[in-house]
Every structure is written in C-alpha cells, then in structure tokens.
Amino acid sequence: MPSSASTLPRVRVAALQMVSTPVVEENLAAAAQLIGQAKAEGAALVLLPEYFCIMGRRETDKVGVRELVGDGPIQRFLAEQALHHQIWIIGGTVPLQSDEPAKVLNATLVFDPKGQLVCRYDKIHLFSFHRGTDTFDEARTITPGDEIVRFVGPGKLQTGLSICYDLRFPELYRALGPVDLVVVPSAFTYTTGQAHWEILLRARAIENQCYVLAAAQGGMHPNQRRTWGHSMLIDPWGEIKAVLPEGEGVVIGEVDPNLILSIRTDLPALAHRTTRLESTV
C-alpha cells in the first residue's frame, strides 16, 4: 500500500442508508435524523440514497409526488438541512417534472452549506431487469438524462455524480475526468446487489484511482421490495473503509487527497491511458 504525506486536509464524508416507505413525510423525518447524526460525527458532506424520499407501492407513485425544478417540499427540505447543519448535502434522487407527462427525471441535487443548489444530475442509464418475480423497467416512468456532472465540494474535492445503474457503465466515470470522489446513491435490488454491488464499486474506485461513496437503500420495504444495502466508502486502492450491511444508519469516513496523489504517483494508470484504441471488428 502506498504511503502518503499529510499535507492536504482530509474531508469527512457520510453515506446514509435508509429503508424508505411510500410516505414522503416519513422518509424526510428519517433522513433528518440521519443527517443530524452524520453532522454530529463530523461529516462535511452527506450523501442520501436513491429514492430516499419515496419507495412507492407502484412505479407510478414517484410521478405523483414529482416536483417542479427548483420548487417543492423535498427540495426545500434538502436546502434547509444543508443550511441548518452547514454541510454539503447530495440529495440521493428527487423525482422532478420532465417533458413527458407520465414520467419524471430521477435527479440528484447538490446543496452547499448556504442551502444553495449547486448542480443537478439526471440519471442517464435506466435499469431494466427481469428474473422470476424481480421485474423492473425504469424507462416506463423515468426520462433519462444526457449530461455528466461534476462539482467542487468541501476541501476543493472534485466530485463526480452518478446514480445506481450508472455503476455498470465505466465509460461514464472516465468521461468525468480525474476526480477525487465519486458518489453513487442507489437502490440496488437484493439479487443484483448480492452478485455485483461490491465488485462494481471497488472496480470504479480502482480504475479511476478515486474514493467512491455509495449510499443505498437497505432492507425490506412496505412495497415488498428488498434492497441490498451495504452502503460503503471505498478508497482509491480499492479498500473498503466503512460499510453498513443492512438497515438504517450512517457510514462515515475520510477522503484523503494525499492518498489519491500517492497512488496516482506510484501507479500512474490514468496518465498511461490512451484514447487511440480502435476496434478492428
């Protein structure tokens, strides 16, 4: 394991794991408690999971609580929490109005410690899975995004945004360019999570030589959907620094820019990458 000199400040980050219900108000109350806990443990940045505000009984339930871009109780909650605790909050995903009346944008919203919206990322890759009683097709209710997004967070961390199923598409993370931290708010199914979640997260950390912070839904929901959980923080060497297997809670740890620099110096894989490869097929 490479060593690092302590010259750049570390940043404490937290991922919240939830078992969200079909009731928005219940979920916001649960999120508020967990955000407060993360703040008490010193987090400067808090990541909420995908669908933190609603896990409906039907796919269309999220369409029923969609908000206008920039206006709505879920967005106000996130802004108020960021301002109250003086922290960065990455709001898992919020259903926002899209150009298609029967669909939503599945959007990650980033708020700074002043409660200001810094940026928004709309989920690009839409999940589809059919095996036995597990059947999902997000394209029925979600309009996909088409832009990658990164921002400068606490400690000047270059932070890339992604959501759940995006994790299976490494080209998205390459397109972000060199980043210090990638966040992955998720609601992985138990089946796919058990098989692939940890492997994919560690691969994204290793190949991009950055930290990966993943906030997941983790348990049995009232709609009888079971999510995998295992929210975690992974360092750029691929080591899991903290993990919560199941249930509500906070995963917390530090992003160390010195370690990132050390690994990229000792193993300059990003510098060795070539874009000259062409298919011969």
Task: Give the tens place of pLDDT for each residue, 94-110.
Answer: 999 999 999 999 999 99
% pLDDT > 70, the chain: 97
Instruction: Give catalytic status of residue 103 as yes or no.
Output: no
Q: Considering the chain, what is the average pLDDT of its residues? A: 95
pLDDT value of position 5: 46
Question: Any idea what the Cα angle at residue 116 is, between residues 171 and 70, rounded to 5°?
Answer: 80
- Provide the 10 A C-beta neighbour count for residue 129: 13
Q: Which long-range contacts (CB under 8 A, 24 or more apart) does 35-39 make?
A: 35/81, 35/85, 35/87, 35/89, 36/85, 37/250, 38/14, 38/87, 38/250, 38/252, 39/85, 39/87
pLDDT value of residue 133? 73
| pLDDT of the residue at 49 | 98
- Residue 149 pLDDT more than 80? yes
Q: Residue 128: pLDDT above 60?
A: yes
Instruction: Check if 210 is active-site.
Output: no
Q: Helices (H), strands (E): how many in the chain?
A: 8, 14
- Catalytically annotated residue among 39, 164, 246, 248: 164
Residue 2 has pLDDT above 50, yes or no: no
* CA–CA–CA angle 74, 80, 86 (5° rounding): 135
The question of whether 164 is a catalytic residue gets the answer: yes
The CATH number of 11-269 is 3.60.110.10
Q: What is the pLDDT of residue 225?
A: 92
Marked catalytic residue, from 123, 138, 210, 254: 123
The pLDDT score that the predictor gives to residue 127 is: 92
- Gap between the Cα atoms of 198 and 3, Å rounded: 25
User: One of 50, 67, 138, 254 is an active-site residue; which one?
Assistant: 50
**pTM beyond 0.75:** yes
Q: For residue 212, is pLDDT > 50?
A: yes
- Spatial separation of the C-alpha atoms in residues 94 and 81, rounded to whole Å: 15
pLDDT category at 134 given cuts 50, 70, 90 is confident
pLDDT, residue 280, reads: 64
Euclidean distance between CA atoms 262 and 259, whole angstroms: 5
**Per-residue buried b or exposed e for 189-225, using 16+ beta carbons within 10 Å of the residue's own CB:** bbebbeeebbebbbbbbbbbbbbbbbbbbbbebeeeb
pLDDT, mean of residues 245-270? 97
